[in-house]
Structure 1
Amino acid sequence: MIVQRNIGQGMQSRALTMPFRLLPLLFVGLIIGCADLPKEVLEEANKSISRDFLLGPEDVIEVTVWRNQDLSRLTVVRPDGMISLPLIGDVKASGFTASQVAEKIAKRLTEFKENPAVSVSVKEVNSYFVYVMGEVARPGKYPLKSYATVLQGVSLAGGFTPFASKNKMAVVRTVRNGTGDEHQLRIPTPYDDLVNGKGKIGNFTLISGDTIVVP
């Protein structure tokens, strides 16, 4: 993913690569019945996901300031979501797209340079991943190079085992309330409903950290 931002001019181009890896995980989730789905469940399942990749901790990005090698560098998003750059110090990167980070850097640099042109390249994605556990061929943690749906997540794990209760499948998601407190939400995703397009919840896009549970 490569994004260039020039104050007064917007220029964007993107390229992104990331290999797959597999790590095991044990997980216990909360249970919510499929009937009369709570409003929060429906809202989370239908949440609009940005097409642009959102940066997260451990992602590797390259910041280039045109005609200024001293300000340009390869950097890793820290666990606190920040990156550090000369002159301007810490910049929040986690939760923002490369385009947004480029714009933020350019605005901060206007204190030192006139009309700075900044490009941000995503060199390595380490923050977007989903878990698939239970009755699938290869349960584990799957880092991804792009957003995936529920069915794509199951496919990554090699599909269901012969013992899978496919129509009891669910996605467990960690969500935050208005005060920032976290809790786990179980979103029922019956296989037949996803395939046939029936039910209140479709084959929605997973967000980083989602866990697909197949009993």
Structure 2
Amino acid sequence: MKCFDVVLIGVLSVGPAVAGMAQAAQTKPVPPVTPPVSTAAPATGTDGVVATPAPANPDGAPSPSKSSDAGVANTPHYIIGPEDNLQISVWKEPSLSGTIPVRPDGMISLALVGDLPASGRTPMQLANDITVRLKKYVQDPNVSVVVLAVNSQKIYMVGEVGHVGPIPLAAGMTPLQAIATAGGLGPFANSKKIYIMRTVAGKEQKIPFNYKVALKGGDQGVTLQSGDTIVVP
């Protein structure tokens, strides 16, 4: 046999072996990559409860927590007035529950009870009155009264302010806050001569208010009342 024939036979015999090795490499399964296991402990609060991240908004920012605030209308000393809106709830008596407006005469109308005065009372006093009246028809009535909208508590702005007219009276509102709510002082306002007009026992009182002292955080002991008029000359 010639030398050329021997080389040719060797090449032909090696070819299938190389092809088989390539096919085996292609068909050999690749082992899955296992991600590293985190050994960090989950964040826990002071009470030992595992903290859960807050859900994100579509833009990726954490959702803000919702805070509930009862507001001025549901403080223990709030006095209901005409045109306020009340939510009256009687436990397990949906037909006696609902949203009821206070009429201009200060009265409300309630099923089984009829007309009764609401203006001049706190929500708790009104709830107690309704409870007493319902005992004739309901066994052990449980009544709650919530003021949904305050339309009776207002003060008035007059003079050199951004917006002249009535504004809602919030709990603990100061004259400085009222002026800010009305858009602030006008360009020609005389901040040294601001005063509050108040009717007491049918007589007008003039209460001075030092705007500059208030800006510096000075407490002048002036608490606004419904019906007050702030005059800014």
Q: Say whether the fold is shared (TM-score over 0.5).
A: yes
- Secondary structure of the 2:212 match is helix
Aligned twin of 1:96: 121
Aligned twin of 2:154: 129
Asked whether the 8 Å contact 2:72–2:78 carries over to 1, the reply is: no
Amino acid at match of 1:185: Q
Larger RCO, structures 1/2 (Cα 8 Å, 6+ apart): 1
Aligned twin of 2:135: 110
Q: Tell me, yes or no, if structure 1 residue 15 matches structure 2 residue 38.
A: no
- Secondary structure of the 1:192 match is helix
User: Post-superposition shift, 1:147?
Assistant: 4.2
Name which of 52, 55, 60 aligns with 2:85: 60
TM-score for the superposition, normalised by structure 2: 0.62
Asked whether the 8 Å contact 2:86–2:145 carries over to 1, the reply is: yes
Q: Tell me, yes or no, if structure 1 residue 205 matches structure 2 residue 227.
A: no
Aligned twin of 2:176: 151
Amino acid at match of 2:132: K
Task: Could you tell me which runs of 5 or more consecutive residues in structure 1 were left unpaired when the two chains were aligned.
Answer: 1-12, 19-49, 177-181
- Secondary structure of the 1:107 match is helix
Cα distance per residue 1:103-149 (max 9 Å; x no partner): 22112222333321001122222111111111112222112454411
The root-mean-square deviation of aligned C-alpha atoms, in Å, is 2.6
- Secondary structure of the 1:162 match is coil
- Secondary structure of the 2:96 match is strand
Query: Which protein has the larger Cα radius of gyration, Structure 1 or Structure 2?
Result: 2
Asked whether the 8 Å contact 2:81–2:120 carries over to 1, the reply is: yes
Amino acid at match of 1:208: S
CA distance in 2, matches of 1:74, 1:207: 27
User: Structure 1 residues 122, 82: closer, same or farther in 2, change over 3 A?
Assistant: same
In percent, how many aligned pairs have the same letter? Answer: 44
TM-score for the superposition, normalised by structure 1: 0.67
Asked whether the 8 Å contact 1:125–1:145 carries over to 2, the reply is: no
Asked whether the 8 Å contact 2:154–2:168 carries over to 1, the reply is: yes
Cα distance per residue 1:7-49 (max 9 Å; x no partner): xxxxxx973599xxxxxxxxxxxxxxxxxxxxxxxxxxxxxxx
- Secondary structure of the 2:133 match is helix
Aligned twin of 1:32: none
Cα distance per residue 1:171-209 (max 9 Å; x no partner): 111222xxxxx23222111223444576xx815221111
Aligned twin of 2:203: 183
Asked whether the 8 Å contact 2:196–2:231 carries over to 1, the reply is: yes
Name which of 83, 88, 102 aligns with 1:77: 102
Higher fraction of helix: 2
Higher fraction of strand: 1
Asked whether the 8 Å contact 2:169–2:226 carries over to 1, the reply is: no
User: Post-superposition shift, 1:88?
Assistant: 2.0
Asked whether the 8 Å contact 1:147–1:207 carries over to 2, the reply is: no
